[in-house]
Amino acid sequence: MRITADEAMSVARFLLERAGVPDEHARLQAEVLVEAELRGHASHGLQRLPRLLARIRHGLVNVSATGRQAWRRSAYLYVDGEAGLGPVVAMAAIRVLMDRVAETGIAVAGIFNSNHLGMLAPYVERVAESGYIGMALSSSEALVHPHSGAEAMLGTNPIAIAVPARPGEPFVLDLATSVISMGKVHDYALRGEPLEEGWALDAEGRPTTDAEAAKAGSLAPFGGAKGYGLGLAFELLVASIAGSAFAPDVRGTLDDCHPANKGDVFIVIDPVRQSLADVIAAYLDRVRNARVRDGAGRILVPGDRARSRRRESLANGINVAPVLWSRLTGPEATKLFSPKEEGHPS
């Protein structure tokens, strides 16, 4: 079924506010979820709401926290997220970084004890819109096996990089270092479709195309040994800078019973170049207009597809699974706020 972005925002804000989230925090959290829907990433969209509400219900989220920020060094911000909402803590840190780079040129924030960020693109996009370069890294539960490995030891370890270009059209890269997301594996399992070969291993470490078996197993890094190396580097960067846990010990982004102990890292750079955005925009156009391979479609630049999907969603609405929508808006929605279940491990 199709709903409008406004409806999605209203419902998400209403549910969050009813769960006790302050207005402004509810707006930020809802925006990140709806932005994912608008770009066609349902796995990071509204379907995250029931678990987030359960986490709030179970006392795992401090809904009013914005994070305790401390400058460890003049360009290195260390943030105890105080169990706050991921987008709230992150956006507060990013604002502080953007203020600081006028003096330092580059600044980094390491955030621990904060809840799930959702999709990374909206964060770095905000930075690029202000004329700066933005980078984001975030860690997660172990879902990805090492190259040659048979069990998950790494998070999906996404990276996002945004660079200013033409107004409203920044370069925005946002990718996981796994060949496919676990959310997508769940989608394949729901539809009963087979995975492509090489995407996943089962719980015993054997290659599988059975999505159900892969759910209990592990995902391959993208691009073989190189993607594994990058994912591992990002794992180390986040744990080093944020002081957070390594993937095998991470809890709290896929469950509703553990505090979140993953880490987030943001880097903001002020390249101090006049007309940088114009120069970048001109080069990106050269790339888009390069010769195309026989039989291939257009050459896209990271950010292009998300923008066109977003336009399409704003015009025609967001595709939401009816079962999810009724869970969020139907009579059973009250369960999202029921008092703490007896015997719950939180």
Q: How far is the CB of 5 from a copy of itself (least distance, A)?
A: 26
Q: Which residues face 318 on adjacent strands?
A: 3
Q: How far is CA 323 from CA 16, 145, 329, in A?
A: 19, 33, 10
Amino acid at 19: A
Three-state secondary structure call for residue 120: coil
Secondary structure element (H or E) that encloses residue 250, with its range = none
What's the CA gap between 60 and 57, in Å, rounded?
8
Burial of residue 333 (CB within 10 Å: 0-12, 13-18, 19+) is middle
Q: How far is the CB of 302 from a copy of itself (least distance, A)?
A: 5
Q: How far is the CB of 287 from a copy of itself (least distance, A)?
A: 5
Q: How far is the CB of 108 from a copy of itself (least distance, A)?
A: 5
Amino acid at 290: A
Nearer to a copy of itself, 110 or 252 (CB): 110
Q: How far is the CB of 171 from a copy of itself (least distance, A)?
A: 6
Nearer to a copy of itself, 210 or 304 (CB): 304
| Radius of gyration of the chain measured on its C-alpha atoms | 20
Nearer to a copy of itself, 50 or 229 (CB): 229
Q: How far is the CB of 222 from a copy of itself (least distance, A)?
A: 5
What's the CA gap between 51 and 16, in Å, rounded?
12
Nearer to a copy of itself, 165 or 320 (CB): 165
Question: Which residues neighbour 25 within 8 Å (Cβ) at sequence distance 6 or greater?
Answer: 16, 63, 64, 85, 88
What's the CA gap between 245 and 233, in Å, rounded?
14
Nearer to a copy of itself, 4 or 104 (CB): 104
Nearer to a copy of itself, 33 or 109 (CB): 109
